[in-house]
Structure 1
Amino acid sequence: MRQILAVAAGLVVLAASACSAPAPPRSATSPSATPTGPAVLPAPTGDHPVGTTILHVNDTSRPDPWNLDVDTRELKVTLWYPTEQGDGERAPYMTPKESELFLKGSEIAGVPYDTLSKTRTNAIKDAEPTGEKLPLVVLSPGFTKPMSSLTALAEDLASRGYVVAGIDHTYESYVTTLSDGRVADCIACDSDTDPGFGTRVVQGRAADVSFVLDQLPARWEGSGLIDRSRIAMVGQSMGGASAMAAMLEDSRVRAGIDMDGSTYARIPKSGFSRPFMFVGSEQHVPGGGDASWDRDWKLLTGWRRWIAVTDTDHQAFTDIPLVGPSLGIEPVHGVLPAERGAEIARTYVAAFLDRHLKSQRQPILDKPSSRYPEAKLCPEACGQS
């Protein structure tokens, strides 16, 4: 219900088949309040300044799964990483054109279309990377969303000593800028009600992840900083579903997190032993509205956690609530403030990664936290067994 209210209030509309619950009919939305001015992403909480750069990689071994006129798969990869450079040009959140196409695709009207390009980030564009033997985290956004929708999380992880590789899955977002400056739109949106659509998407994204892991050593001068024995994947919505799919296909991905995404890749009946964590809204409780988590939970034979965050909706684990006020979108009554939702997402994602990629004890993952009472450890704390 909260997800439907949030969309009605003007948050980004998702394709029904790519959501964790049915979305309301698509209709043009307008701001319900006066825009507050440019959004400012919360400052990273780690010890390191953050740098960022963009790579474009082209997989010539396979055709694009969505654009039948293209015989290769081009991907945009945004890297975030620790740097010693504290000052410099801040990386743009989106270009004016990307902002325009994203808002049009999301059917948000009534504000200047370049609004999101004015969002203030924290990462320094093309700063020199620093560190050694750094763990790598692959990030994957929700369907229709560009990678920039997870920027706050990416910056925070980089500040904590991770290299983050965020993948824009071409033609699955309202906007992806390609290497030659062309902007790809969401061709996959024309197929989102087809039978087997979710399975098709996560299989393609798993292939995207494997290709990016193959390409990083050759394509990024800072790749020597990465400890390739410590790789995890985190995603939101369809990106979270893709984390499971990628782990099933590529043993290099040691651990994964699904943030509020229904899963599609099927785990073998023999089970899956690598660490995995579900983090979701209240809809994602055992016996709730998404049977895929109940199904997969029983097949996770290794370290596992299932966390439901009260008073959240589907977008709480993204930047969408953080940038909403700049679009004149009022917070939804009864839903956690954007900054609190971001803090909880950052805290639990980092705790999981610190435990499984850095071998650091994280009591917050083992028992309820008085600091974060909204985070319920399921199934026990959710009234199920």
Structure 2
Amino acid sequence: MRKHVLAAVAGLLAIVTSTSVAEAAQTPYLPPPTGHFPVGSTSLHLTDTSRSDPWVPARSRELMVTLWYPALPSGGRRAQYMTPRESELFLTDAGITGLPLDLLSKTRTNAIGGAKPLGGKHSMPLIVLSPGYTKPRATLSSLAEDLASRGYVVAGIGHTYENAATEFPDGRVVTCASCEVLHDEAFWAKLDAGRAADTSFVLDELTGPHAKWPSADPARIAMAGHSAGGSAALTTMVADPRVRAGIDIDGTTNTPVPDGGLARPFLFLGRASQYTPGLPSPVITWERDWRHLTGWKRWLVVDGPVHASFTDVGLLGEQLGLDFGAKLPAARTSEITRAYVGAFFDLHLRHEREPLLDKPSRRYPEVAFCAPA
């Protein structure tokens, strides 16, 4: 079913004619963060020499990770959203024509590249973000910048060979080797397990004995992901007890929660249209897993977005005149996502009271609370 969803998204993109896209073309931009801290950004190239790559076994697993973090005020240059080559391959893979192929590399971000980070050792909670299948880590930048402005270190993992393009510092560009594999149930289980291993390795690198980011607090770690990344968040929590809380943003869960249950906090955040008969939907797997979530939990649905609306794909696409079929503007969906994701992490990593998670809000009437039982 997921393969058909990917094809449908590509089809929606292709519906927009080259002429109409070109006419709407402008420099895309990310909305300003809502927190009080300036945001810095840097990228890490990490190699797990203990593990073969699941998609290209002849190589060790290599990852590109983007870090967003609270920073000292700086007059430096804004961080690049993605490289020109990544932009070209991503737009081509999505079937979008009529735009400059390097356009996404010019996206206006809010983070300053290489800005000096704030905070002493173990002073900042750490959040890992995992993107949807075939999507680069950059597509969660708006959410990442917002969390960093609120005082979090955020690590966006690029799951190599699982997206349209990953460029390494030496100029190598690798594409989606996993896209050539049959997408059956075994494939999605393998994807989940691989992403959980990626996350655990990144946590080792960022918070271990030779921590590459000393301000990240190993006692306050959480994870969120969109689509396949949301499924991976749940799988990672089962496999790695360091991840104290997690969020699945509109992602069908591939690997069931064990019968023994998961007692750490978890949030499902998705579309209200999940309940429409005949539409592809994570609702069935969420109902299955809900019974085994034995700790704090919420199931929230938003009226009006489509799957892409929760990420920069919807946000930037809307700016460029692409019509995904959403009834709710992507900018509004982004605002809602930032608010509820931020509230969840403030509650469970900082123990701050968050009434937004207790009941429906007049500020966000599009959001409904579900109680499957």
Distance apart, 1:128 and its partner CA: 0.6
Aligned residue for 1:17?
2
**Distance in 2, Cα, partners of 1:308 & 1:25:** 20
Alignment of 1:114-153 (within 5 A): 114-132=102-120, 133-153=123-143
Alignment of 1:239-250 (within 5 A): 239-250=229-240
Deviations along 1:256-287, one digit per CA (max 9) or x if unpaired, are 00000000122121211000000001233599
Aligned residue for 1:163?
153
5+ residue gaps in structure 1?
A: 1-15
Answer whether contact 1:285 1:308 (CA < 8 A) is retained: no
Deviations along 1:130-162, one digit per CA (max 9) or x if unpaired, are 024110000000000000000000000000000
Residue aligned with 2:352, SS: coil
Aligned residue for 1:346?
338
Please point out which of 236, 252, 263 is paired with 2:242. Answer: 252
Q: CA RMSD in A?
A: 2.1
**Distance in 1, Cα, partners of 2:370 & 2:319:** 35
**Distance in 2, Cα, partners of 1:272 & 1:253:** 12
Answer whether contact 1:49 1:84 (CA < 8 A) is retained: yes
Answer whether contact 1:134 1:225 (CA < 8 A) is retained: yes
Answer whether contact 2:188 2:254 (CA < 8 A) is retained: yes
Residue aligned with 2:89, SS: helix
Aligned residue for 1:233?
223
Aligned residue for 2:350?
358
Aligned residue for 1:5?
none
Larger CA deviation: 198-207 vs 322-331 = 322-331
Distance apart, 1:307 and its partner CA: 0.3
Alignment of 1:297-308 (within 5 A): 297-308=290-301
- Change in Cα spacing, 1:331 to 1:268, as seen in structure 2 (3 Å) is closer
> Given the alignment of the two structures, is residue 48 of structure 1 paired with residue 28 of structure 2, yes or no?
no
Aligned residue for 1:265?
255
Distance apart, 1:220 and its partner CA: 8.6
Aligned residue for 2:267?
277
Hey, which bits of structure 1, 4+ residues long, moved more than 4 A? Answer: 25-28, 218-222, 285-288
Distance apart, 1:18 and its partner CA: 5.8
State TM-score, norm by structure 1.
0.89
Distance apart, 1:107 and its partner CA: 1.3
**Distance in 2, Cα, partners of 1:219 & 1:30:** 51
Distance apart, 1:331 and its partner CA: 6.1
Aligned residue for 1:4?
none
Answer whether contact 1:35 1:325 (CA < 8 A) is retained: no
Aligned residue for 1:84?
72
Which amino acid is 2:32 matched to? A
Please point out which of 111, 114, 117 is paired with 2:99. Answer: 111
Which amino acid is 1:68 matched to? P
5+ residue gaps in structure 2?
A: none
**Distance in 2, Cα, partners of 1:272 & 1:39:** 40
**Distance in 2, Cα, partners of 1:197 & 1:218:** 30
Aligned residue for 2:362?
370
Which amino acid is 1:185 matched to? T
Distance apart, 1:254 and its partner CA: 0.3
Deviations along 1:15-68, one digit per CA (max 9) or x if unpaired, are x5368x574396581644322401111000000000000001100111100013
Please point out which of 285, 290, 302 is paired with 1:292. Answer: 285
**Distance in 1, Cα, partners of 2:209 & 2:40:** 17
- Change in Cα spacing, 1:87 to 1:30, as seen in structure 2 (3 Å) is farther
**Distance in 2, Cα, partners of 1:191 & 1:228:** 36
Residue aligned with 1:60, SS: strand
**Distance in 2, Cα, partners of 1:18 & 1:294:** 22
Identity %: 50
**Distance in 1, Cα, partners of 2:114 & 2:344:** 28
- Change in Cα spacing, 1:38 to 1:30, as seen in structure 2 (3 Å) is farther
Answer whether contact 1:198 1:264 (CA < 8 A) is retained: yes
- Change in Cα spacing, 1:214 to 1:122, as seen in structure 2 (3 Å) is same
Which amino acid is 1:336 matched to? L
- Change in Cα spacing, 1:270 to 1:331, as seen in structure 2 (3 Å) is closer
Answer whether contact 1:31 1:110 (CA < 8 A) is retained: no
Answer whether contact 1:286 1:378 (CA < 8 A) is retained: no
Which amino acid is 2:46 matched to? V
Count of residue pairs brought into register by the alignment: 363
Residue aligned with 1:227, SS: strand
State TM-score, norm by structure 2.
0.92
Aligned residue for 1:58?
47
Distance apart, 1:324 and its partner CA: 1.0
> Given the alignment of the two structures, is residue 68 of structure 1 paired with residue 57 of structure 2, yes or no?
yes
Deviations along 1:293-344, one digit per CA (max 9) or x if unpaired, are 0000111110000000000111111001221145441463x52112101000
Answer whether contact 1:285 1:378 (CA < 8 A) is retained: no
Residue aligned with 1:167, SS: strand
